[in-house]
Structure 1
Amino acid sequence: MSEEPYFRPVRPTRAYEAVVEQVEETLARGALRPGDRLPSERDLMSQFSVSRSTVREALRVLESAGLIRSRPGDPRGAEVLPYSTENLRKPLERLAGRDGISLSELIQFRMILEGSANRLAARLRTDEQVAAIETALERMREAIDEGYAAFSAADVTFHDVVAQAGGNSLIQVCGEVVRGAVLALIEDKLQRAPDSVALMRQSVAHHAEVFEAVRHADLIRADRLARCNLYEYYASYVTEESKPMLQALLEE
């Protein structure tokens, strides 16, 4: 009886990708910490046995990812930067924008994220943060008469303030990226909707419910409101076959 192979076929790797991978592994295990310096370009060329152009391409990729800061000609080498949740933004945006991820998957993920953000805000918010959420809600009301662009910006601010009150920066960054990806797919339909003012007023009413749940520390209601409101707002934009994956998040 033949056995399953232990290994998978390998793909050819460009030299700069191998350099990037090794540097990332070194950073991940803590051998280099924020403020430390990578070896100079010349030393990197020697250690990796690659050309200067390969080293520079690898440094460009690492800098684009927010892992290092590189100054051409600096003899001290590139500086290792502190970790930031912003480092997640670009890869998340690329992932969310891929054709293989459907609108229904993005909406489902947003339901999960915003439900959790609301729950955390209801549990952890301070009086100052409650006031900030209320201010953001009032701005949404004012923006109805100013048109879709102003209202959309006010809506983003409301969600950001709630996420900040929850205290989880990862949820905040992921929420911003997913919200942007969803809007990129359907924004034209929203802008052209004949009942856009009615939709904005409905949205304000939903956000007011969230505010009250957060203000009264009603964790369960705050969580459920996010999921139910998003479903009500976006379900008409997905296929009938996709709706069960969203409805699963509405079940108790």
Structure 2
Amino acid sequence: MVATPAYTVVLNWLEEQLRHGKIRVGDKLPAERALAEHFSISRASVREAIRILDAMGLARSATGSGPQAGATVISEPSAALGWALRMHIATRALPVKDVVTTRLLLETQAAWDAASGENDDHTDRDDILSHARDLLDRMDDPEISNDEFHALDAQFHLLLTSLAGNVVLETIMVSLREATIGYVQETVATLEDWPSIRATLQTQHRDIFTAVTDRDGKLATRLLRDHITWFYSLVPRAEK
């Protein structure tokens, strides 16, 4: 029987403290020595717990002395999920095809909700749509680099997803985008007529934007599905 690592007591303790509101995002964690003494474990085990929390997007450590030193509780779930997905995609345990299918399921639902307004709690809907329009205008600039285009593309999709009003869905979508950016960049590098493809993507983006703005959920969903599947069809078979 495998023994439970000593550092898990710190993780379990923090989960309970967060759940009951005794520790909140932005609070400092107790010092290493205090945690080690409280749980009767080594300081090395405490440091391992802090490293794991950092990797999970739940803590940020600062070295040195003074008020900024030590570990602070944060909440950045998409960063942790994104890294985990990227690593497992790299091992091929998670096929890119399945990741794309998952994105289709989630983002088309988000498009429906964003357009229909069924979960519309956004008082700043107009501001979000205005920002999305500005991103599209910037993406029209033929002088921007491919990397900048991809970054703006990701922001555009995530802005529309945010209109669905589902924080968990938005977090997962951020993670999926971060996890697949590498394969997107590799795919673009192999395409012979990228300027033409980029123009097609922009036409699709604007059609999706118009459907969401017009609150046509059915059309927005269909256009987004066609948009994602069309680009994925360009991926070399070996990468699928």
TM-score normalised by the chain length of structure 1: 0.75
Aligned match of 2:129: 130
- C-alpha separation in 1, matches of 2:53 and 2:46: 11
- C-alpha separation in 2, matches of 1:210 and 1:128: 17
Residues 47 and 169 from structure 1, CA distance in 2 versus in 1: closer, same or farther, beyond 3 angstroms?
same
Deviations, residues 206-226 of structure 1 (Å, cap 9, x unaligned): 111101101110112212221
Aligned match of 1:119: 112
Counterpart amino acid of residue 21 in structure 1:
L
**Within the alignment, does 1:67 sit opposite 2:58 as a pair?**
yes
Aligned match of 1:56: 47
- Give SS of 1:19's match: helix
2:195 pairs with one of 194, 197, 200: 197
Aligned match of 1:250: none
- C-alpha separation in 1, matches of 2:77 and 2:184: 26
**Which shows bigger deviation, 187-196 or 57-66?**
57-66
Residues 233 and 81 from structure 1, CA distance in 2 versus in 1: closer, same or farther, beyond 3 angstroms?
same
Residues 146 and 42 from structure 1, CA distance in 2 versus in 1: closer, same or farther, beyond 3 angstroms?
closer
Counterparts of 1:1-252 in structure 2 under 5 Å? 10-16=1-7, 18-27=8-17, 29-30=19-20, 32-34=22-24, 38-68=29-59, 81=73, 84=75, 86-98=76-88, 99=91, 100-122=93-115, 123=117, 124=120, 126-142=125-141, 144-237=142-235
CA RMSD, Structure 1 to Structure 2 (Å): 3.1
- C-alpha separation in 2, matches of 1:153 and 1:36: 32
Shift of 1:64: 4.3
**Which shows bigger deviation, 190-199 or 154-163?**
154-163
Deviations, residues 83-141 of structure 1 (Å, cap 9, x unaligned): x3x23421342134302100101111111222122223212363333322222222222
- 8 Å Cα contact 1:148/1:191 also seen in 2: no
**For structure 2, which runs of at least 5 residues remain unmatched after alignment?**
none
Residues 50 and 154 from structure 1, CA distance in 2 versus in 1: closer, same or farther, beyond 3 angstroms?
closer
Shift of 1:31: 6.1
Residues 54 and 180 from structure 1, CA distance in 2 versus in 1: closer, same or farther, beyond 3 angstroms?
closer
**For structure 1, which runs of at least 5 residues remain unmatched after alignment?**
1-9, 243-252
Aligned match of 1:4: none
Counterpart amino acid of residue 80 in structure 2:
K
- C-alpha separation in 2, matches of 1:227 and 1:210: 10
- C-alpha separation in 2, matches of 1:189 and 1:71: 38
Query: Sequence identity of aligned pairs in percent?
Result: 27
Aligned residues: 227
Counterpart amino acid of residue 20 in structure 1:
V
Residues 91 and 132 from structure 1, CA distance in 2 versus in 1: closer, same or farther, beyond 3 angstroms?
closer
Counterpart amino acid of residue 14 in structure 1:
P
- C-alpha separation in 2, matches of 1:153 and 1:37: 33
- C-alpha separation in 1, matches of 2:10 and 2:211: 46
**Which shows bigger deviation, 116-125 or 103-112?**
116-125
